[in-house]
Structure 1
Amino acid sequence: MVPVADGKLFTLATIEPGTGLIRAMAANRTFKRPPPGPSATDTGQPPWRASGPDLVDPLVAGNAETPGGQAGAPFLMFTLAAALESGMTLDHTIDTKRRYVSKYVIDPNSPAACEGPHYCPANSGDPAYLSGRRTMWDGFRHAVVTYFIPLEEQLGAETVIAMAKRLGIGFRAPEDKMLSDNGKMWGAFTLGVSATTTLDLANAYATLAADGKRCDPLPVAKVDDAGGQAVEGIGPHCEQVLRPEVARAAMDAGRCPVGDRSAFGDRCGGGTVPATTVRATVGRPVAGQSGLGAKGQNFSLVVAAPQLVTAGMVGAAPGQYGAMAAAPLAAGVPNAAVGAIAAVQRDGLAPLPSRDFTAPPKELAVSGS
């Protein structure tokens, strides 16, 4: 799908909800030190980073030098969860337009600006969903930008950022960290513009799949000492960060983008979305979301079940800059990524008994209940 030497990086992580145990981490690179960089006397270029097939960077987990890439629409979930926690219901309606003039102020010369310095995002995708009355269910299924930006405005962008942090999203890139620390005007945050990793993305959705219990990612189940006794302190470290009923409601909306169905019937709306086939591939109840860059330069997908969550991302590799980083994905890569990520989720769940999501209370789904 994406060869080892390709300019695009494909990373994948699978994590167990409720324990944080990492079941898989993979990247389309060879874990090997790259050749030495150019001479220190070279100037006028970005800091040298290897971009070939050999890398030892933490590509899946990330660090300050390798903060990850843009996930896109999966970040809409954090606005949705924050709205549910505030008391809104899944059937909360917004009359959306093709383009929305927000209160957020950006550079007036930006292509996303209109009416002076206002941030004005627009919908794309299925023509039937470019405007009209939407709920959290069909708005999330079709990643309706002009549903989630007004929703974020009502909540406050800083509230949405705080929700993302609580669920497991970190901010490693310096600019992202600065924006997240004072995020009132970071309107684009809900669209997944910050750098993230597949491990963070999988863990955040695992928090929701575990009824709001966030666990630190854990690469080993246990450690024994020389005598064969388990070393104390090694094991899951978890914290309840969200009310279970709110997490369940968020997962109910999350079933819509991946070809599944709400516990409350036909709420997801019609049409097709990139990850429609995931439910059929996995063969079990699933929730999640996919994201495709506006210019087709990156793609992400997260697939959640009560016992396992898998996330994958395809985007610019470390060392890629400018036109190389912005180059669109090759034809067929997003569809191939959907199939590959869904297959990993299917195979990971295969030894486990099938489990459905617990339905949220009707009071969080339908207003006036």
Structure 2
Amino acid sequence: MQTSRSANRTSLRAGGPPLPSGTEARAERHMDACDEWVRDLWPDLPAPSQWCRPLHPRTRENYSAALVRFFDWCEVKGLHPTQVTDAQAAIWVDELEPLTPRVVRLSNSTVNGLMTGVSSWYWWLIDRGHATANPLWGVARCAPPDEIATVRATREHKAMLLEQALRYRGGSAARNAAMLALVMVHGMRPGDVLGCELRQYTYREGRRALAPVAKRGSKRTRLLADLVVELIDEWLRQRARMEGREVGELEGLLFPTSTGRPVASSDFRRYVTVLTRRAGIREKLNPRSCRHGYVVDSRDLGFTLEEVGASVGHKDPQRTTVVYDRTALRARREPGITLGRALVEDHRMMREAAKLAHDEGEKT
């Protein structure tokens, strides 16, 4: 890969020094790199950080990372972003590759996410008169997945995980159990749970509620189940004791680490992996497995597709939530399962018939 003109930009590529931990730090690093590209190569354009900074932190990280990839490609090809055509944008999409050798290919959803990030930047330029067209507008998006690859956590799985979470020992046990309960019981995105702030834990209609800022900056207030409230309150009491304060004096994140920073998503996944192993569950579960299970279990309880889609924050339930439905239905109505059972039964009857014939032959 061609070496970038900036050491800061080079470090964002595979093989460069590791990025600072945390969503905010990665987003800042990406925005700094994009601003430097514009200053060095396209000074007629406004700094991309002006577009990116007002966005939600996770959206900011993803969109700025997409722009880093696009600016890198434009520099290599010697193209000004406002002069990129639809055909050239399609070539960029076709040439997208994973940044780490462990990943064989980018998923369709990842490619679509990168396209959405760059497209958002172009619309921002058009609104301010710096561009006349969005080249990504004419590029077809990748087909959505036909089913969810994430293993679903069944109701039995979730009961087993809860039992292990309550048995878990350590300073972070209460915090982690409360985070897991929010994903299992309310289907929240794991990233939204990690970023919840204490001021968002409030009351609505006489019940405890949580109103985090979610994907695309949307906000939806959730009335919390009693189990979840008990676990969160237990964590807050424990945290207050550790900090030597009253619960009402606590501030900042709802589930911070000992340093006050958000829990890393990798640590949350590792926690669920440990619980899965301790519970003796054979499937490889992760936090998103619990969210997947929430969607399927809610549908089984009779909630409509629109109700479930709205509760988990799917922008288009007909395109997203229905995929969860289809995945669960196929797993339950897999012809091979029924045929396998029929084969076992046919084989059993054949052996019984053969034994009966053998016994009749011996009698005669």
Higher helix share: 2
Higher strand share: 1
Calculate the TM-score normalised by the size of structure 1.
0.25
Larger Rg: 2
